[in-house]
Amino acid sequence: MFSSSLGGDVLGRIVKNLGLYLILIILVVSLVNMFLTPTTQPQPQYIEITYSDFLKELEAGRVKDLLIRNNTLPGESSSATLHGTLSDGTKFLSYGIDIENLAATAVKNGSNVTIEAPQKNTWWMTILSSLFPTLLLIGVWVFFLYNMQGGGGKVMSFSKSKAKLFMDNRPKVTFADVAGCNESKEELQEVVLFLKSPEKFTKLGAKVPRGVLLVGPPGTGKTLLARAAAGEAEVPFFSVSGSDFVEMFVGVGAARVRDLFEQAKKYQPCLIFIDEMDAVGRHRGAGLGGGHDEREQTLNQLLVELDGFDDASSTILIAATNRPDILDPALLRPGRFDRHIVVDRPDVNGREDILKVHGKDKKFAPDVDMSVLARRTPGFVGADLANLINEAALLSARHERENIGMDELEEAIERVMAGPERRSRLISDKEKNIIAHHEVGHSITAKRLPDSDPVHKISIVPRGHAALGYTLQLPEEDRFLVSRTEMLNRITILLSGRVAEELVFGDVTSGAANDLDRATKTARQMVTELGMSDRLGLVKLGRKHEEIFLGRDISEDRDYSEEVAYAIDQEVKSIIDNCYAKAKEILLADKDLLSKIAAVLLDRETLDGKEFEALMNGEILPDIKKPDGVNLEKPASDSESSDESEKSTGIEGKKTDQFSKGDFLA
């Protein structure tokens, strides 16, 4: 219904705009004619008389001055009156013929005759005056066609594909520039080999995948892989985003898909890359009421084009998305996107390779070890690692160093995770003391619990937009499974900051707000999703489904009774209470050590893992000079402290995925 109204809608807009332009053209032409055409109307100061009266006055000698201008005869009377109505010196006007004889007659009768030379228009002025309205009309029409769509687009180009074609200027990236995803590169190398040597496959009756879908979290290098495939294959490369197909007019997206594949046929063999495929390939029927909207027509046309590839076609479509769960099943079936390549987060070896790729044109200090950095960045994707190297280079330039050192790289890791330091933030001594005990409480509990990640750094220097302090734990190796004991340890460590506040100060603050949130989510996940509750058993509670009216976004629906819901709440509370009691038991035994380490942390503001281990073993650290830029003398007012607590929800700051980049424990 909507597609049939496209032509009428567009035509109506064109007619409406055309009418406005025609009115402007008529006004301009009228003004031009008014200025170019000589005035023939009598002037207000002249009295118009007939030609016969004029001849009578001329023969009677009562015409003093006479001007002959083509057929127009303006003059002035000399004496008496003209027909008894005009006095001496009256200006009159008449029109006559046979101008040459008239001039001689006027001279004989004593008139002062002046003959005005006729205006001679050149040929180009004649042509210009004739064609000017037509040329003006053509110019306005061309301008209208050129600017109707805005930005220089032609009026009929809205149905043209917006894909960028790269041929001689194709990406220079190759697979050597891509690291951390060796399996993904191997899968794509087959596509490249087919484009270079298709006979190797066709002689065996093999068919190359027509569509390749790159799936993975943001920043893992999906777009980079597609560009590398185009650079390796050395074939024309069409690049377009999924959102470029969608327009306000129904049917435009489908027209652009048709145009894209028609262009691709002219440049075979070639690659088509569609980034953010979920923008156009979202599950059909997901609109309000399941309507057949513009996006669905675009998807239908894309499905038809993918099916329309003939056996001799050498056009390969590569698409990238980080939301494969919302793509239409018809798009994912064999024959369309035959091959799904997962581009996952890199492991420790992959991170080391990525760091080497991004650091190949950088100057590093001799002490920089990429393997150490790779172990300290679990969960980082390629984009994070590239940002890490760049931040370290910026820090080195700020410090006027000749190369990038390990200190700058360590600082860059924390900047990527939690944001830059905010040493200018004014924090009172009382609040700083609370923050120090809170963070040390996390650290001691993490040290005492077995199978927990080692403490890498403790800091009470504010970072980012909200973090007043943090404890950083880094795993010694990449993990893909988390045991029940490890999850309970995580909850215990999260709660230990609140326990330390209670034991030392006899009161608690809002600093544990995010800790409590994360601990509760972990406990609920153990009970409802992972079957780690003895009371409720191995039951998955809560059903996730896709709401069609919300675009098939994931939501959760309760599929259990009120009694089970009450049991879940009781079990979650039991886990939290047990972990809290365990953290309290640990910190009660180390209460003196808690205060000693907190005092050192207040003095130094930052402790690394080795310094913390030394303090846990009873060693005394050498005195150091406090860093500049920290004001510990000026306390914040009560209202200011309250505002800071509300803004930052205490000390939590920016938290990262507890299974990836390590825990930022406030």
Letter for the amino acid at 400? E
DSSP-assigned beta bridge partners for residue 318: 212, 273
Rg of the chain over Cα atoms, rounded to whole angstroms, equals 43
Torsional sign, CA 326, 660, 582, 433: negative
Show Cβ contacts of residue 596 under 8 Å, excluding neighbours closer than 6 positions: 615
Catalytic residues: 439
The DSSP code sequence of 611-654 is HHHHHHTT--PPP-PPPTT---SSPPPHHHHHHHHHHHTBTT--
The DSSP code sequence of 395-463 is HHHHTT-SSB-HHHHHHHHHHHHH--B-TT----HHHHHHHHHHHHHHHHHHHHSTT-PPEEEEE-S-B
Please provide the distance, in angstroms rounded to a whole number, between the alpha carbons at the two ends of the chain. Answer: 57
Kind and range of the H or E run holding 26: helix 5-36
How many whole angstroms separate alpha carbon 529 and alpha carbon 345? 24
Neighbours of 539 (CB within 10 A): 11
* Residue 304 token pair: 């038809």
How many whole angstroms separate alpha carbon 214 and alpha carbon 317? 11
DSSP-assigned beta bridge partners for residue 342: 215
CA-angle at 608, arms to 501 and 477, nearest 5°: 100
